[in-house]
Amino acid sequence: MSRIESLFTELRKTGRKAFMPFVTAGDPDLDFTADAIRELDRRGCSICEVGIPYSDPIADGPVIQASYTRALARKIKLGEILDMLGTVSQQVKMPLVTMVSYAIVYRHGLKQYVADAKAAGVAGAIVPDLLVEESQELAAICQEAHFSLIQLATPTTPRERALRIAQASTGFLYYVSVTGITGERTELPPTLVEKVGWLRTQTDLPICIGFGISTPQHVKLLAPVADGLIVGSAIVRRIAEAATRPRDTVLRDVSEYAASLLAALP
């Protein structure tokens, strides 16, 4: 059983839901990324998604795209990110997963990426541009390493395909709440709860919802049908202010914002 599978087993036993923040590795720099991960862990977050900067992200909105651009401008390297994660993973309780383009994994080497990420204490990978039809090789490598391979379903994914994606995923299924790109939203689709609720009856795999979640009201709406909630752009936008505001102040703002969403979970 992977660390992520163990986490959701424990959460389900107590009726709790996972809160999963997203941070971009290297924005504004790797030291701040490490500080943010430690602070989010201290607040009681369940899993932290760490975005590996990529020049051509598939579904990321302008806030996360801009953070990737800033990190890449600093010439950040995958090895440096993994070195940072190797240190911080030993200092936090929550598992870490990478949000990483398949192009990066492929260029690094599938077996090598999984081995290096696991050696750095990373528990799994979300690969948003990996089609389920093409995921068998990486899935087999991840399974052998007890490393979660998390795949995505969307509101427009046909039901039969969504079930296939769930069957091919380990750790949890990432359910995209809206059609389009990441970003904060004032409202979520009215059919979201129904669609996730149906999928919940079809699979035992934990389902975590991301894209557009940014308020305690969103958390309260979705928590009854989800096993976890993912928040990215709202956190990345706050972290971006570290370029112009005192870092301690920004870190406190991020921490207090995460606490407000955690407080809305059952």
Provide the 3-class DSSP secondary structure of residue 126. strand
Query: Residue 163 in contact with residue 134, Cβ under 8 Å?
Result: no
Clarify whether 49 is annotated catalytic.
yes
CA distance 236 to 219: 18
Clarify whether 60 is annotated catalytic.
yes
User: Could you tell me the two tokens for 113?
Assistant: 């990426």
Indicate the helix (H) or strand (E) that contains 153. Answer: strand 152-153
208: left (phi over 0), alpha (psi -120 to 50) or beta: beta
Closest CA to 232 of 218, 244, 249: 218
Closest CA to 96 of 45, 59, 154: 45
Exactly one of 5, 27, 49, 227 is catalytic; name it.
Answer: 49
CA distance 206 to 227: 6
Exactly one of 27, 41, 60, 227 is catalytic; name it.
Answer: 60
Catalytic annotation, residues = 49, 60
